[in-house]
Amino acid sequence: MTNQLPRVHEIEHHAAERATTRPVVSGMQGVVAAGHPLVSMAGMRMLMTGGNAFDAAAAAGFAAAVVEPTASYTLCGECVAMVYDARRRESVALSGQGTAPAAASIDAFRRRGLDRIPTGPGRDAHLSFTVPGAVDAYLTLLETYGTKPLREVLAPAVHYAERGFPMYEYMHRMLAIPDTRAQFALYPPGGDAVFYPNGRAPRVGERFVQPALAATLRRLVEADASGDRLAGIAAARERFYRGDVAALIGAFSETWGGLLRASDLAGYRARIEPPLSTTFAGREILGQGAWTQGPILMQALGMLATRDLRALGHNSARYIHVVTESPKLAFADR
């Protein structure tokens, strides 16, 4: 038998060489699930010091932006969430989806010789920048449902960025991919120095520090100086979206030919909306709005609800055909 290379999901879950990946963890009062133990610890720290689930979620989100950058977490990313408030018995959809810059017109891309909006890595990555939605989503979650001051919620993320954390297997492997290294050498400016100190990807177990990211997080902590919880959150939002952080983001984008400007950040706010809903198999199913695949799910389930799936036989050819074609038809209506 030949040795096979680990598959992607095995790398992601550290399961390539081991039958089990993580110990069973149990508790009595709360649980935080995340992609890295340090992110879970950030959330648990909120719960163990009197915070609620929303404090924990915000702390984990900020911490993930530090600890899991190769898993698509970043302060300049997006955040969508389905939120359930047990006190109000209410479910809402939180949209931290970034909006396109005001200058991102069809003509703007055509003038650059493009027939589609660039996505992903490459020399034109700066043309795909949208307004950072994640930060305001976390602040909105904390402001509306949380109990803790922002400085406490940010403390774990600041600690991980300033003091560093041990490089772990998945992040090391992602950084060691030649295409990843080539991208950071090309773009963004300075990215190579951050993620490849000493000219290489940090080895597993080596301390990985991000002082520039720590400085940005510190700006939000410094804004929260009033002693009033809500005022502190509002001040941090002001500094990130309308203050010096926004100015730096806008200047960076403009310098490298991007369309995003500080004025785009100034008008942004995450939204709390009623979720979409439908009934399937006697259960209420909730979904996000059109900025996700929520409408696709609702429509696909609506089609499946008209069929007797049990009568088709589990995993029969007819069953698989119906289950597969329903979302395909829904996607065709997008």
Contact 284, 277 (CB under 8 A): yes
Judge if 249 and 222 occupy the same domain.
Answer: yes
- Residue type for 264, please? D
Judge if 223 and 318 occupy the same domain.
Answer: no
Say what the pLDDT of residue 19 is: 57
Judge if 50 and 154 occupy the same domain.
Answer: yes
User: Percent of the chain, pLDDT > 90?
Assistant: 76
Q: Please tell me whether residue 284 adopts helix, strand or coil conformation.
A: strand
Q: Classify each residue of 142-177 as buried b or exposed e, where b means 16 or more C-beta atoms within 10 Å of its C-beta.
A: bbebbebbbbbbbbbbbbbbbebbebbebbbbbbee
Judge if 104 and 237 occupy the same domain.
Answer: yes
Judge if 35 and 140 occupy the same domain.
Answer: yes
Per-residue pLDDT tens for 218-231? Answer: 999 999 887 899 99
Residue 93 located in a structural domain: yes
Say what the pLDDT of residue 176 is: 94
Residue 183 located in a structural domain: no
Residue 39 located in a structural domain: yes
Range of the domain at 60: 31-164+209-273
Say what the pLDDT of residue 169 is: 95
The segment with the largest mean pLDDT, out of 111-125, 148-162, 287-301, is: 148-162
Whether pLDDT at 278 is above 80: yes
Whether pLDDT at 9 is above 50: no
Burial of 223 from C-beta contacts in 10 A (0-12 / 13-18 / 19+): buried
Question: 294: which residues sit within 8 A by CB, 6+ positions away?
Answer: 93, 275, 276, 287, 288
Question: 327: which residues sit within 8 A by CB, 6+ positions away?
Answer: 296, 297, 300
CA–CA gap between residue 235 and residue 214 (Å, rounded): 18
- From 256, 273, 290, the end of a domain falls on 273
Judge if 111 and 144 occupy the same domain.
Answer: yes
Judge if 82 and 224 occupy the same domain.
Answer: yes
Specify the CATH number for the domain of residue 318. Answer: 1.10.246.130
Contact 242, 229 (CB under 8 A): no
Could you tell me where the DSSP H helices lie in the chain? 8-12, 37-48, 53-67, 106-111, 134-145, 150-163, 169-176, 178-186, 191-195, 211-223, 229-242, 244-255, 262-266, 294-304, 309-312, 317-332
Judge if 256 and 107 occupy the same domain.
Answer: yes
The residue that leads in pLDDT, 266 or 19, is 266
Residue 10 located in a structural domain: no
Judge if 154 and 239 occupy the same domain.
Answer: yes
Judge if 254 and 220 occupy the same domain.
Answer: yes
The segment with the largest mean pLDDT, out of 20-24, 247-251, 289-293, is: 247-251
Judge if 119 and 136 occupy the same domain.
Answer: yes
Residue 11 located in a structural domain: no
Judge if 106 and 59 occupy the same domain.
Answer: yes
Residue 216 located in a structural domain: yes
- From 273, 293, 315, the end of a domain falls on 273
Say what the pLDDT of residue 18 is: 55
Query: How many separate domains does the chain show?
Result: 2
User: Span 196-203, mean pLDDT?
Assistant: 93
DSSP letter at 199? Answer: G
Residue 158 located in a structural domain: yes
Average pLDDT, the chain: 90
Nearest of 269, 211, 214, 270 to residue 242 by alpha carbon: 269
Per-residue pLDDT tens for 150-179? Answer: 999 999 999 999 999 999 999 999 999 998
Whether pLDDT at 26 is above 90: no
* DSSP bridge pairs for 273: 93
Residue 170 located in a structural domain: no
The residue that leads in pLDDT, 202 or 11, is 202
